[in-house]
Amino acid sequence: MTAKDRARLAAERLKALYPAVSELEHTNAFQMLVATILSAQTTDRSVNSVTPALFARYPDAAALAHANPAEVEAMIKPTGFFHVKAKTIIAASAALIEHFHGEVPPRIEDLVTLPGVGRKTANVVLGVAFGIPGFAVDTHVKRLTRRLHLTKSADPVKIEAEVTKMLPPEEWTGFSLRLILHGRRICLARAPRCPECVLNDFCPSSTVRARGGRRPLTATAASVRLGHGRSPVRKRPGRRPGTGH
């Protein structure tokens, strides 16, 4: 099986398990941008615990650009690194006002010019907020694409370039979002749950092989109900979902 075959089969199998959603709560591109910046080094649950009040107080770039940094810091403190994050979301908002008429631009070339926005954040915003294909490579996507032998690279830019050659653009956003969900719930960093994984019959890193040969392309046994930050599968005692973007 080629890497392209594995990518396509993994995309198909994960599509049957997970919706193509971000677990960051948002109602527009500005909120998605701010929430994604805040999600660095923390969980989506933590971000979702602070953003309703933050967006009620600062509903758009114009409001946040002129915010009192100390007030913003206090509001986002649970997400960690709050000094830097407050500075970044205020600066990003100011850049939106100065260069993009206060609107989040729907082009990766423009998004990456904003403070605190790299290709990962830009691709998430493009895919989730605008429906424009983008393959975001976070820590989960990096780990899973390497375990599935879709890449040998550890460089997110190279991983993005390699994987996007294996799939049609309309699959990029969904595959990235589903890899993130699968990485949080099944293909955990320290102890992947291979026996529970729907990719275990062809994943080169699998510690098990599914009995009875090839699985069907639809996975009903572990079908999921997704809630924000909740596991879609039966939990094991002592296990916790992984971290955020």
Given 4, 120, 152, 165, the catalytic residue: 120
- Closest CB 227 distance from ligand SF4, rounded Å: 22
CA distance between the termini of the chain: 30
Encoding tokens for residue 97?
């006002």
Contact range with ligand SF4 by CB under 6 A, out of 105-113, 124-132, 190-198, 216-224: 190-198
Residues sharing a CB contact under 8 Å with residue 141, sequence separation 6 or more, in sequence order: 135, 159, 176, 179, 180, 183
- Closest CB 220 distance from ligand SF4, rounded Å: 17
# chain residues binding ligand SF4, by CB under 6 A: 14
When the beta carbons of 119 and 184 are compared against ligand SF4, the nearer one is: 184
Residue 192 makes contact with ligand SF4 by CB under 6 A:
yes
Residue 17 makes contact with ligand SF4 by CB under 6 A:
no
Separation of alpha carbons 175 and 107, rounded Å: 20
Give alpha helix (H) positions in the chain: 3-15, 29-38, 44-57, 61-65, 69-76, 82-100, 108-111, 119-125, 139-147, 156-166, 169-185
Residue 194 makes contact with ligand SF4 by CB under 6 A:
yes
Residue 203 makes contact with ligand SF4 by CB under 6 A:
yes
Separation of alpha carbons 101 and 236, rounded Å: 49
Q: Is 120 a catalytic residue?
A: yes
Separation of alpha carbons 126 and 105, rounded Å: 9
When the beta carbons of 64 and 198 are compared against ligand SF4, the nearer one is: 198
Please tell me the number of Cα atoms within 13 Å of 28 on its side-chain side.
9
* Cα 86–chain centre separation: 21
Contact range with ligand SF4 by CB under 6 A, out of 38-46, 88-96, 120-128, 196-204: 196-204
Residue 79 makes contact with ligand SF4 by CB under 6 A:
no
Among 75, 124, 187, 219, binds ligand SF4 (CB under 6 A): 187
Among 13, 199, 241, 244, binds ligand SF4 (CB under 6 A): 199
Q: What angle do CA 198, 22, 102 make, to 5 degrees?
A: 155
Contact range with ligand SF4 by CB under 6 A, out of 30-38, 79-87, 188-196, 220-228: 188-196
Q: Please state, in angstroms and as integers, the Cα–Cα distance from residue 63 to each residue in 27, 50, 165, following that order.
A: 16, 17, 40
Interactions with ligand SF4, residue window 24-43 (CB under 6 A): none
Interactions with ligand SF4, residue window 123-162 (CB under 6 A): 144, 147-148
Interface positions with ligand SF4 (CB under 6 A):
144, 147-148, 186-187, 192-194, 197, 199-200, 203, 205-206
Residues with catalytic function: 120, 138
